[in-house]
């Protein structure tokens, strides 16, 4: 049987962690024949709750769960990790400005980036879920490089897959076709309400989705705001932020990166290689194709007049976030 792969998960005692760990351990992320070892990181005050989660993981008797550890030390959590899901982050508290959130989280991700650079497997694939996830991934990438550079910059990614999946579900409802009929959807930019969900290239059973919808007013006034503000709508309805759908998107992101996207596009926040005029290194949502454990940004798509202002807006927000943490890096 296969050698177990080490999966580090931060914020493991949180609500996304609770929706995520059981699915990783059951083989939904890395394959039904791939044993895993879970390396769980959370704050000292969350260790007791984490013990409870581990008791439940034990009680599932998952055949693929080859081991697990809990720790509050990032150097232990990321030791030889093949995958790292950075979920834990400082939530926005009352009276906290966006800028405070950015700097509070920047501190977490400089520490964790350095720990990854020094301890993780050189092939470690990293997904940042904790918000602001694009900029947190950028910070981790920069500090990992400074701390020893074991892990290549391109392996630091951020989660845009929830936005991608939300867009698919809205389009499915609009045109009355199952989500499984869709291909080549994408979302550009930041995981925030400025993201630009773009169905111009999408198909459903081979038909152009743009032609099936044929309603630019719906696109601008209904579709984009609905997808962009979906997180807030979930909080309003549930009283808690998205957790199961976020965990599901994290599984989708890592599974496709590891096992391939079969030629379809998936949206990943990845360090820009300069494509589409996005400054190099900025972690930006792009259409990607995954094959042999690597992602490639889909090149050469037209950014038309309708799309340009949306791409510009989400890019400006990310550049502002980057400027806000520049003195920490
Ligand atoms: P919870 O507050 O339920 O859990 C967070 C966990 O992280 C807690 O157990 C906490 O103790 C831990 N933690 C905090 N700082 C840590 C640190 N420095 N090291 C290790 N663990 C730490 O939040 P949850 O609902 O699970 O959400 C986690 C993050 O995901 C938040 O930042 C949230 O904004 C973000 N989200 C990102 C999404 C995306 O699409 N990228 C969507 C869902 C979600 O909102």
Q: Is 164 a catalytic residue?
A: no
CA distances, 186 to each of 21, 51, 315 (Å): 27, 39, 16
Burial degree of 312 (CB within 10 A; 0-12, 13-18, 19+): middle
Average pLDDT over residues 125-141: 97
- Ligand 1 neighbour 245 (Cβ under 6 A): no
Token couple for 190: 């930041």
pLDDT higher at 99 or 264:
264
Q: Is 148 annotated as a binding residue?
A: no
Q: Are 195 and 164 in contact (CB under 8 A)?
A: no
Residue 94, pLDDT > 80, answer: no
Q: Are 83 and 31 in contact (CB under 8 A)?
A: no
Q: Is 239 annotated as a binding residue?
A: no
| Percentage with pLDDT > 90 across the chain | 93
pLDDT of residue 56: 98
pLDDT, mean over the chain = 96
Q: What is this model's ipTM? A: 0.98
Residue 201, pLDDT > 90, answer: yes
Q: What is the DSSP letter of 320?
A: H
Residue 98, pLDDT > 80, answer: no
Pocket probe mutation, ligand 1, options 21, 85, 87, 318, max atoms within 8 Å of Cβ: 87
Q: Residue 17 CA: which ligand 1 atom is closest?
A: 26
Residue 22, pLDDT > 90, answer: yes
Pocket probe mutation, ligand 1, options 8, 9, 13, 16, max atoms within 8 Å of Cβ: 16
- Ligand 1 neighbour 42 (Cβ under 6 A): yes
Cα 211 to averaged position of ligand 1 atoms, centre (Å): 39
Q: What's the rounded Cα separation, in Å, for the pair 8 and 26?
A: 15
- Ligand 1 neighbour 133 (Cβ under 6 A): yes
Pairing outcome for strands 207-208 and 203-204: antiparallel
Q: Is 139 annotated as a binding residue?
A: no
Indicate the pTM of the whole model.
0.98
- Ligand 1 neighbour 250 (Cβ under 6 A): no
């Amino acid at each position: 049987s296969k050698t177990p792969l080490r999966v580090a998960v931060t914020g493991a005692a949180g609500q996304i962690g609770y929706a995520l760990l059981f699915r990783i351990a059951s083989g939904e992320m890395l394959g039904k024949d791939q044993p895993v070892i879970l390396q769980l990181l959370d704050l000292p005050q969350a260790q007791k709750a984490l013990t409870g989660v581990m008791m439940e993981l034990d009680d599932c008797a998952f055949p693929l769960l080859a081991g697990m550890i809990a720790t509050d030390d990032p150097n232990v959590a990321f030791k030889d990790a093949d995958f790292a899901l950075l979920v834990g982050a400082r939530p926005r508290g009352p009276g906290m400005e966006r800028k405070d959130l950015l700097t509070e989280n920047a501190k977490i991700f400089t520490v964790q980036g350095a720990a990854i650079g020094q301890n993780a497997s050189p092939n470690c694939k990293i997904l940042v879920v904790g918000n602001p996830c694009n900029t947190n991934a950028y910070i981790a990438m920069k500090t990992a490089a400074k701390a020893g550079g074991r892990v290549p910059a391109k392996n630091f990614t951020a989660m845009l897959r929830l936005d991608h999946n939300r867009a698919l579900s809205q389009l499915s409802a609009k045109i009355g076709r199952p989500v499984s009929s869709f291909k080549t959807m994408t979302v550009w930019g930041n995981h925030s309400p400025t993201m630009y969900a773009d169905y111009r290239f999408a198909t459903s059973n081979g038909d152009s989705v743009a032609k099936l919808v044929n309603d630019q007013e719906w696109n601008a006034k209904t579709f984009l705001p609905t997808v962009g503000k979906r997180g807030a709508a979930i909080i309003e309805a549930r009283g808690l932020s998205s957790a199961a759908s976020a965990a599901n998107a994290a599984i989708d992101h890592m599974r496709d990166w590891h096992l391939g996207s079969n030629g379809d596009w998936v949206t990943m926040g990845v360090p820009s290689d300069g494509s589409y005029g996005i400054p190099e290194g900025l972690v930006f949502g792009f259409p990607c194709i995954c094959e042999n454990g690597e992602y490639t940004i889909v090149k050469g798509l037209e950014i038309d007049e309708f799309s340009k202002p949306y791409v510009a807006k989400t890019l400006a927000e990310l550049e502002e976030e980057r400027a806000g943490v520049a003195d920490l890096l």
